[in-house]
Amino acid sequence: MSKPKVVVTRQLIDEAQRILEDRKGELEIVQWNSEKPCERAWLLENAKGATGILVMLSDQVNDELLQAAGDQLKVIASFSVGTDHIERAALKKRNVRLGYTPTCLTDAVADLTVMLILMAQRRGGESMAKVIKGEWPQMPWHPLLMTGPQIRGCTVGFLGFGRIAQASLQRLLAFRIKRAIYLTSKPGQPVKEDHFNLVKTANIPIEPAQSADQIASESDVVIVGCALTPDTKHLVSTDFFKKMKKLAVIINIARGPVIDTDALVKALDQDQIFGAGLDVIENEPNIQADHPILKQPRCVLVPHIGSATIETREQMATESVENLLAGLTGKEMVNEVEL
């Protein structure tokens, strides 16, 4: 009997690669061998006869790929939290299991959320740029020079209040914020999952909001942490910005299209809000140097590095391999998508 074949569309990081190679005796391992994303033609060719495939965000998993693989395919293990690149229905139809890595990046993204809030309030990008341009010697000190709003005493509003939003709130409590409000798909209702027991134990009010309007008008910091759906696309647009406080900042660590970029540029231009901190943006990564958002000194934009810590990426790799192996043998995955 021939060994089951697995296809892996990347060289993996240390520990994960080791776990995989430990199975060389029992598995035929075919692995893409370059720093560049895996080529589609290579994947379609090598998928043939595979029992499991470990894919990256950049690999489309659809009928074409599943058909190329064949009926023996048991598992797709995705090195990702998001599964937008995967046609779930196609997997379900063929009874192929789907593993992913949603939980291990919570801390890394929550950390980055705090970084972006502080940079937006404290003018991190703007003040760094002034130093780099050599303007520091010509900045005579005065009491309001480069000042921004302070996080102590802020009301923090969350659009979406899942695990990452709650982990961010957990950090913000130490900065002595005053109050948190959150909007979920069920406005006005208490959140179901209190992942870190904050709602129960925090010494500040943590309350459901009735509407996006309430989040806009009452928050000093707005954090976009919701999934992208037809309902949340451009949820934050001109109307929302008009209702925000002049000293408020907006943060997006979720998906770019929840914020209408043109409206954000206008809001910053017209000083309707104080600043913005974005890890994601519409049409990323196709943001050219002449993009209007990059002309806004009070907007910090980083290139989707929410989960980009060494520790997190190692854990994502390890969990992907574990999901792959569990899928081959019918065992329980670390995290499996219900199809």
* Catalytic site positions: 304
Q: Shortest distance, CB of residue 157 to its own copies, whole angstroms? A: 19
Q: Does residue number 268 form part of the binding site for its own copies (CB under 8 A)?
A: no
- Which stretch in 35-43, 68-76, 92-100, 326-334 sits in contact with its own copies by CB under 8 A? 35-43
Question: Residue 285, preceding bond cis, omega within 30 degrees?
Answer: yes
CB nearer to its own copies: give 110 or 267: 110
Rounded least distance, CB 232 to its own copies, Å: 23
Closest approach of Cβ 37 to its own copies, in Å?
6
203 in contact with its own copies (CB under 8 A): no
Total of chain residues touching its own copies, rule CB under 8 A: 75
Stretch that binds its own copies, among 86-94, 221-229, 261-269, 305-313 (CB under 8 A): 305-313
| 227-246: contacts with its own copies (CB under 8 A) | none
202 binds its own copies, rule: CB under 8 A: no
Contact (Cβ atoms closer than 8 angstroms) between residue 243 and residue 217: yes
Instruction: Give me the residue label for tokens 């409000």.
Output: 181
Placement of tokens 């999934």 in the chain? 227
Asked if 271 interacts with its own copies (CB under 8 A), we say: no
Q: Does 303 bind its own copies (CB under 8 A)?
A: yes
Report, in Å, the least distance between residue 234 CB and its own copies. 22
| Binding residues among 72-111 for its own copies as defined by CB under 8 A | 79, 107-108, 111
Residue 311 makes contact with its own copies by CB under 8 A: yes
Taking alpha carbons only, the member of 3, 105, 13 closest to residue 321 is 13
Binders of its own copies in range 45-64 (CB under 8 A): 56-58
Angle between helices 106-122 and 310-329 (to 10 degrees): 150
Q: Tell me if 317 contacts its own copies by CB under 8 A.
A: yes
Least gap, CB of 132 to its own copies (angstroms): 6
- Map residues 278-297 to x or -, x wherever contact with its own copies holds by CB under 8 A: ------xxxxxxx---x---
> 86, 73, 101: which is closest to 334 by C-alpha?
101
Joined tokens for residue 308:
């980009």
Binding of residue 1 to its own copies (CB under 8 A): no
Q: Does the footprint of its own copies cover residue 37 (CB under 8 A)? A: yes
Beta carbons of 205 and 235 less than 8 angstroms apart: no
Q: Which of residues 118-177 bind its own copies (CB under 8 A)?
A: 118-119, 121-125, 127-128, 130-134, 136-137, 139-153, 170-171, 173-176
CA-based radius of gyration for the chain: 23
Rounded to a whole number of angstroms, the minimum distance from the CB of residue 158 to its own copies is: 17
* Whether 272 contacts 243, CB under 8 Å: no
Of 186, 199, 116, the C-alpha closest to 151 is 116
Q: Per the structure block, which two tokens stand in for 13? A: 């990081």
| Binding status of residue 198 toward its own copies by CB under 8 A | no
Tell me how far, at minimum, the Cβ of 174 lies from its own copies, in Å: 4
Residue 51: helix, strand or coil by DSSP? strand
Regarding 313 and contact with its own copies (CB under 8 A), the answer is: yes
> For 294-301, which contacts have Cβ atoms below 8 Å and span 24 or more sequence positions?
296/265, 296/268, 296/269, 297/125, 297/126, 297/129, 298/120, 298/123, 298/125, 298/126, 298/268, 298/274, 299/120, 299/125, 299/264, 299/268, 299/275, 300/116, 300/119, 300/120, 300/124, 300/125, 300/275, 300/276
Quick check: 5 and 50 in contact, CB under 8 A?
Answer: yes
Nearer to its own copies, 1 or 289 (CB): 289
